[in-house]
Structures are given as structure tokens and as C-alpha cells.
Amino acid sequence: MSLLELKGIKKTYLLGNPVFGKRKSVEAIKSISLTMEEGVCLGLVGESGSGKSTLGKIILGLEKPDQGEVWFQGKSLYCLKAKELKELRRNLQVVFQDCYSSVNPRLTIGEIIAEPLRNYERLTSVQEKKKVQELLEIVGLCPEDIRKYPYQFSGGQLQRINIARAIALKPKLIILDEAVSALDVLVQVQILNLLAQLKEEFQLSYLFISHDLQAVNYIADRLAVMYNGEVVEWLDDLEQLERLKHPVSKKLLSSVLPPYPGIL
């Protein structure tokens, strides 16, 4: 059984105000079917507007497709009752691009990371504190940071905090939506190394959404290239990037910079 399976996903948006004239129909996702196995990092790469983030939102249940089905752990995501969906969601987490808007500035770091634990686990205050401090250490931060607030951290540190929150329940799948694209290159390296380490340590599965083929190449096991709402090319061996044939794949490949510092 596949961890994630998409069957004929389609999504169309209507743009414009109907009061002022005819609305424009835009196909964000034309027709996508794919499967993803447990323990795999699938890189989903494409230019801005290709539909990759929309697809991520559909998988998360934040957007509902016009047609098609999303199967996660053998269950149809859009046919579940609220209680069943909540239980399934503990195994489906996300890290977004904007690390600043992903956290509540009024909450301490401890409260931010503890949010999923409070939703799903029945921990005492002592147990919760210990767990949060362990998570902070896992992502390379200090246990004492539990009392601090988001404004006291850099972008890279905040993204580590978002990752700590995402792994708190040991989910089966984490969707990383442009999770490193807003960071400086050296910080990107650190976060990518952390993600690779956590994937190995906790047997995590990632859907790594990005426009940066270099970052995808570093962390992903398989590659799907999106263009104009469709998956136009697949690659099972990322050591053979030169075999990419689609024009948009070649365009993304030509934009790849020299390797990250420390990554060969």
C-alpha cells in the first residue's frame, strides 16, 4: 500500500469580480495522478505558477479538488468523518516557506512547538516541557529557548522551530513547501542537512516542493517536474539529471548554480 496516492486531481479557479464582467477560468491543476511510498522524499519542482503549491494544499486538505481523490495511508482524505480526519492529520504535517507568519508572535517557542502535542497527546506539564526541550535539541537549538519568543530568533532558527513542531508527533509525511527558499544559502545548507538527518533518524517521508532544482537534487529520492498544472516529467534516479528532456526541466537545470558550500 502506497503512503500517498493521487487519482485524477483537477482544480480550477475563477478569477475576477463577476459584478464587473465575465470571470476568467484558470486551471491550476489539470489532471495529476501519482503515488508515493513510505520513507521516500519526492521532489516536486516547477516554475512559479506551475501548480505545485496548490497540489500541496490539496494533499493537506486545505483546498478541495474539483475532481479526483487523495488517498493517504489507504484512506480517501475527502470521504472521512471529522474524527477520522483529525486522527489521520497527525501523520500529515507541513513546513511552509514563510517561517515568520507560520508562528504566532504572541506565543513562546515552547507553546508553539507544543501545539500538536496538546491536540493529540495527553501529557502532563512536566512531560510536555521535557518533550519540547528534546525537540529543540533535535533541531539544533537550546532547551532554554523554550521560554523565548519568535522575534528573538533568526529566520533559519525559526524554520528549525517549525520543523520541531512538524516532527513532534512523528508523522508519516511532511510536506515542505518552499521550506528553504527564503533563507540565505548557508542557512539553506544547514536546514537541508537537518532535514536529511531527521529523515534517516525518524524514517520520515517528505514531499519537497520547490522551484530550486539544486535543493531538490540534494534531498530528494525521486523527482516530478510540474508545468502548467501537469506533471510533465519523472526521474527516479537524481544522479542522472542530465537525462531530463522537457524544455521546462532543461530551463530549471540551466539555472542551477554551483554546488552549495560543503555539498559536492
What confidence tens digit (pLDDT) does each residue in 10-30 have? 999 987 766 666 778 889 999
> HEC states along 162-194?
HHHHHHCCCCCEEEEECCCCCCCHHHHHHHHHH
Q: What local confidence, expressed as pLDDT, does residue 240 receive? A: 86
pLDDT tens-digit readout, 217-258: 999 999 999 999 999 999 998 888 888 999 999 888 887 655
Q: What is the pTM of this model?
A: 0.91
Report whether 118 contacts 168 (CB < 8 A): no
Helices (H), the chain: 52-60, 82-89, 109-120, 125-138, 155-167, 185-202, 213-219, 247-254
pLDDT band, residue 79 (cuts 50/70/90)? confident
Mean pLDDT, the chain, whole residue set: 91
Q: Which of 18-22, 163-167, 182-186 has the lowest mean pLDDT?
A: 18-22
> Is the pLDDT at 140 greater than 70, yes or no?
yes
Residue 255, pLDDT score: 74
The pLDDT value given to residue 262: 44
